[in-house]
Amino acid sequence: MRTIRIFDTTLRDGEQSPGASMNVDEKLLVARQLARLGVDIIEAGFAFSSKGDFEAVRRIAEEVDGPVICSLARAREGDIRAAWDALRNAPRKRIHTFHSTSDIHLQYQYRISRDEALKRSVEMVRFARSLVDDVEFSPMDATRTDVDFLCEVTQAVIEAGAGTVNIPDTVGYTIPEEFGRLFKTLRTRVSNIDKAVLSMHCHNDLGLAVSNALSAVLNGAGQVECTINGIGERAGNCSMEEVVMALRTRTDFFEADTNITTTEFLRTSRLVSKITGIPVQPNKAIVGDNAFAHEAGIHTDGLLKERTTYEIIRPESVGFSRIHIVLGKHSGRHAFKSRLAELGYTLSDEEIDRAFERFKELADRKKEVYDEELETLVSDGVSRTGQVYRLEDLSVSSGMGRTPEARVRILTPSGPEEKKATGDGPVDAAYRAIAEITKTQSKLQKFEVKAITGGTDALGEVTVVLEQGEVTARGHGADTDIIVAAAKAYLSAINRLRATAGESGTGMP
C-alpha cells in the first residue's frame, strides 16, 4: 500500500479564483484547519507577488505546525529569495519553482528557446536547493510539451536538486489515458526518476481533473496537488476531497491511500466556502448538502434495510455526523471556548473574546445555536479583521405602497459617516447609502441568500460578488436579520476590492 502525499494549494492556486482573495488572518485560519485535516504540504502563497502574500506565507511558516510549508516562486532569483525569506522560520519548508516548457508558451509568452528555458530551470532549481533541502519544480504546461523535451527537463532538474517534479496540466487539456501514459513514459525514460517524487497538478477545464490525477497515481505518481472544494481559476483544480475519498474507498483498486483525516472534510469545506464566499453546489461529491441525500423510493427502501445497498461512503467518515449543541444565552465563555476547540478552532484570547461577544448577541435572539452558526461566527469575525469600512448601525423602513428607505452608519478611516437613501427595496436602499459613503464605483454581479440552519430564527448568510474594472471580489455576511447580513456582505466585498485592486496576481495557472 503506497501513501500518496497531499499537496494543498487552496491558499495559492485556489485563491486565484476571481474574487476569492483572503486576508492574512483568513489564510492562517484555513492553514490551521488544513493541518488538522492532515495535508502533507501547504502551499501558503506566492511570497514575491505581494506584501500580503509574503506576510501570509511568513505567518503560516511560523505558526502552523505539522505540514511542510511551501511558497511558489517563478524561476527567477528574486522570487526564490523572497520565498526563502518568508519561509526561513518554518521547521519544514519547501520552495516550489516553475518555468514553462511547452513550445506555445516559450514562443508566444516567454519568447525564448528550449535551451534557454532548460538552462534557467536548472540554474534556479540549483539556487533554490542552496537555500532549502526541499525543492519542487514544475514544467508549466507540461501536457502540451514535447515529450522528449519534458523528459530532458525532468532529468536535468532532478540532477540539479529537485526532490519533487510536478507535472501540471495547466490548461486542463489532457485525457486520463493520455496522462497516465505520460507518467509511465517519464518513469521509463528518465534515468534518475527514482531520486524524486512525481506529482501532478490538474485543472478541471474539461471536468477531468480528478480522473487525470487518479490515472497518474495508477502510473506511479506519489503526490497530488489539489484544493478544497476544487476551487481555482477558470473551472478550478483537482478536488482534494474527491481524489482522497476515491483512494480511500477503492484501496483494493489503487493500492494507495493518504494521511488525510477524512472526518475533517466537511468542516474544512465549509470554512473555505465561508471565507472565500464561493458556495458549494448541493450535488457536489463528498461535501455537497445532497451528497448523501436519498429520495427515490427504491433507494430509501434499500438503505433502511442495509446502508451499503446505496451508500459507498458513510456520511460520518467525511464529517456529516451532525451534533446539535446546547449552547444558548446562558452558556458561559468556558463552554463556548471548549466547543470551538472541539470544532477544531485554535484562537487567541482576544479572538475568543470577540467571537464570544458575537455569540452572546446571537444567543439573545435565538433559543439554540448550532455548530454551523458557530463556525460562521468565527469565519465572519476573521474576515472582518483589518477592514477599512465597518457597519455600525442600520435601520430600514418599507412596506406595501411605501418607498423603501435605509439609514446606514459606517465607521470609515475618517470617522463615522451616516447616510439615508431610498431604493427599489430595503436591500437596494441600504446598498445605495453604503455606496454613497464608500464612494465605490463597483457593480453588483451576484447576490445570494441562504439559511445556515433550519427555523425562522436561523442565521442568514448573504454572499455578493462585486466587479470594478477588471477586479472582482466576493463578500460574505451573516446575521439573523437578512438586511443586516446583506449590508455586511456588501461592505466585505468593498473592503476586498480595496485590498486586491492593484495587487499582482501572477502565478502558475
Q: How far apart are CA 133 and CA 136, in angstroms?
A: 10
Kindly tell me if the per-residue pLDDT of 502 is higher than 60.
no
Q: Confidence class of residue 469 from pLDDT cuts 50, 70 and 90?
A: confident
pLDDT digits (tens, 9 = 90+) for 310-361: 788 988 999 886 544 457 777 777 778 877 877 777 778 887 888 888 788 7
- How far apart CA 406 and CA 290 sit, in angstroms, is 37
pLDDT recorded at residue 323: 45
The bridge status of strand 135-140 relative to strand 164-169 is parallel
pLDDT bucket at 301, cuts 50 / 70 / 90: low
Q: What is the pLDDT of residue 324?
A: 46
**3-state DSSP of 389-428:** CEEEEEEEECCCCCCCEEEEEEEECCEEEEEEEECCCHHH
Helix (H, G, I), strand (E, B) or coil at 438: helix
pLDDT: which is higher, 465 or 92: 92
CATH number assigned to the domain with residue range 323-509, chosen from the 4 options 2.60.120.10, 3.30.360.10, 3.30.160.270, 3.30.1360.170: 3.30.160.270
Question: Tens of pLDDT along 189-219?
Answer: 999 999 999 999 999 999 999 999 999 999 9
Instruction: Please report the DSSP string for 447-496 in residue order.
Output: EEEEESSSSTTPPEEEEEEEEETTEEEEEEEEESSHHHHHHHHHHHHHHH
Contact predicate 383/476, CB 8 Å: yes
C-alpha–C-alpha distance, residues 84 and 70, integer Å: 10
Mean pLDDT in residue range 376-405: 82
- For the ranges 129-143, 144-158, 372-386, the lowest mean pLDDT is seen at 372-386
Q: Do the domains spanning 2-276 and 323-509 agree at the CATH topology level? A: no
pLDDT value, residue 505: 44
* CATH code reported for the domain at 2-276: 3.20.20.70
Q: What SS3 state is found at 501?
A: coil
- Which pLDDT belongs to residue 381? 65
State the Cα–Cα distance between residues 154 and 299, nearest whole angstrom: 49
> Burial code of 160-173, b = ≥16 C-beta within 10 A, e = fewer?
bbbbbbbbbbbbbb
For the chain, which residues make up each domain, given as ranges?
Answer: 2-276, 291-321, 323-509
pLDDT digits (tens, 9 = 90+) for 414-432: 999 999 999 999 999 999 9
- Across residues 407-414, what is the average pLDDT? 94
Residues 6+ positions from 396 with CB-CB distance below 8 Å: 404, 405, 406, 407, 426, 429, 430, 483
Say yes or no to pLDDT of 140 above 50.
Answer: yes
Query: Taking the CB of residue 416, how many other CB atoms lie within 10 A of it?
Result: 12
What confidence score (pLDDT) does residue 455 get? 67
pLDDT at 382: 64
For residue range 231-258, list pLDDT tens digits in order: 998 999 999 999 999 999 999 999 999 9
User: pLDDT > 90: what percent of the chain?
Assistant: 66
Q: How many residues does the chain have?
A: 509
